[in-house]
Amino acid sequence: MKMHSLAQEEIFETLPFINTAHTLVPQRASVTTEKKQPDLHEVLFQLVNTITLPLRLPEMLHLLTEMVVQSLHVDLCLIMLQGQANDMLRPCASHPDILNSDTQLQNLHISPALWEHLRTFTLQGQLPMLTTKEISLLNPLHENAYQTFISIPLCVGNECLGLLNCYAQRELYYDRDEQLLLNTIANQTALAIKHRRYVEEDMISQNNLISSFVEDLLAGKAEAETILQRHAYILGFDLAKSHVVALVELSEATEALDDSNAATAHRQDRALRHATALTRIKQSLQTLYPGVLIDERETGLVCLLPCDSDLTIEYLDKQLEPLLKNSRQESHVSISIGIGTCCQAIHDYPRSYAEASEALQIGSCFKTDLHCTHFTELGAYRYLYPFTQTHTLSDQYQECILALARHDLRKKTNLLDTLEIYLECGGNIAKTACTLDVHRNTLLQRIGRIQKLCPLDIDHMPSRLPLLMALKVYRLRAHQLHSDEITETNSSHLMDHG
């Protein structure tokens, strides 16, 4: 199915075509073919493995296009699918990714006659033979430099779901057996797409029921208790057991992206990256906590975790650490988790939800690595956070903290961390040294340097509490300032790569 150039002689458009090297060429044309093709049985095996993975439809389509390019040695694979109204074919996935590039793609309208023409060849296990006009109707690329164009319909019975289009910059040759296998691959792909659509429709219905139940439960409507009990029974959720509310929120990774990262990460579909990360963490939580109920929202998850298991921050951190790090490194997605306290009755859920929201919001400020925060560990931050959002007070305690922060930045030291642990330990040298895992003499040397930089006497009891509070306020303000700077930097990168 060769892409005809504008310079090609008009007479060729009226001549019959023969199906040779995946290139439809005029009978009078001279063609040199090279039979160097992949093992299509292996391709079919990889396809079956791909379509059986527990992925959403966009993820599955992306993997399919990648598999086709790598296995069939073509240069581009593009999947076009019909919308819900079955009117237009729209590009849904491609490899390499041209959907989020400057490549111009058009939606296609395929007439019933052309669909039937394509399906006729599919039923015979052959690649469609196409005229130049038919090629133009099936090709969404406005401009391309490809020599070979293959378009195979994705059919389930009499229903045509879309097209599997392949492009190559060289001639390709497939014999009849290989053409039959290619059609089998397309048929299996169509079946997988149709099945995944049915599954996702069921999931949407189930998710809507879960979302309605969780919203009513967290709203704390006492008059809705009977309805909640009935909905919980339908969902298989045991309200008689203890649960805790956990909130999972996704955001762009806070690191300022360099040119390379911006080119690879932000040209991808942001929604797809977030959906992939949400799916992974949802599956992880379902594995860790059987019986968990999860309401998936646009930027995160609302989870009702059973309390009868060992639900601790240390356990969650240990189990979710690889997932959180991979999401940041691979998808440039940051995941924060806030956890409330345990619910023993229906009226406890609004309280646990409010606690989880507060833990999520404040935890991201003082946790610089893994953002998994329980309400009970907020401590003084819970009282200071509202203050930092509305006040810019500066006093002698803040000046002391700023002096230490500047020294740490200039000398690459960690005196501020040392002071924080020292004050939290009530000035106890042995306890502080043990917490920091340093020798007593090392700690004394650090405290000596801190005292030289700080005009206040850190051993003076009345100064310790306000100094510790000033340090906490600095942490919260520094996080907010850093986040604002990163947001501005990343926005600038995105505009540069727009």
Residue burial 190-223, b: 16+ Cβ < 10 Å; e: rest:
bbbbbebeeeeeeeeeeeeebeebbebbbeeeee
Helices and strands (H, E) in the chain, number of each type: 16, 11
- Whether the Cβ atoms of residue 372 and residue 397 lie closer than 8 Å to each other: no
List the CATH code of the domain at 220-378.
Answer: 3.30.70.270
Q: What is the pLDDT along the chain (498 residues), one digit of tens a residue?
A: 444 332 333 333 333 333 333 343 332 222 233 444 556 677 777 777 777 776 778 888 888 888 888 878 889 999 999 876 567 899 999 989 888 887 888 889 888 899 999 999 988 888 888 888 898 899 998 776 788 888 999 988 888 899 999 999 888 888 888 888 888 888 888 888 888 888 777 777 888 888 989 999 998 776 678 888 888 888 889 888 889 999 988 876 654 444 444 444 444 466 777 777 788 888 888 888 888 899 988 778 999 988 865 566 677 667 777 777 777 766 677 788 888 988 988 999 999 999 999 888 888 776 655 568 888 888 777 887 777 777 777 788 888 888 898 998 898 888 998 998 999 898 899 999 999 999 999 999 999 999 998 888 888 888 888 898 888 888 777 765 544 443 444 444 434 444
**What whole-number distance in Å separates Cα of residue 426 and Cα of residue 451?**
16
Report cis status (omega within 30 of 0) of the bond before 96.
yes
Residues of the chain with CATH 3.30.70.270: 220-378
Element (H, E) at 373: strand 371-374
Return the number of other C-beta atoms located less than 10 Å from residue 12's C-beta.
16
Q: What is the pLDDT of residues 109-139, one digit of tens each?
A: 888 899 999 999 988 888 888 888 898 899 9
Residues of the chain with CATH 1.10.10: 390-496
Residues of the chain with CATH 3.30.450.40: 10-198
CATH H superfamily, domain 10-198: GAF domain (3.30.450.40)
CATH topology for the 390-496 domain: Arc Repressor Mutant, subunit A (1.10.10)
In this prediction the pTM is 0.54
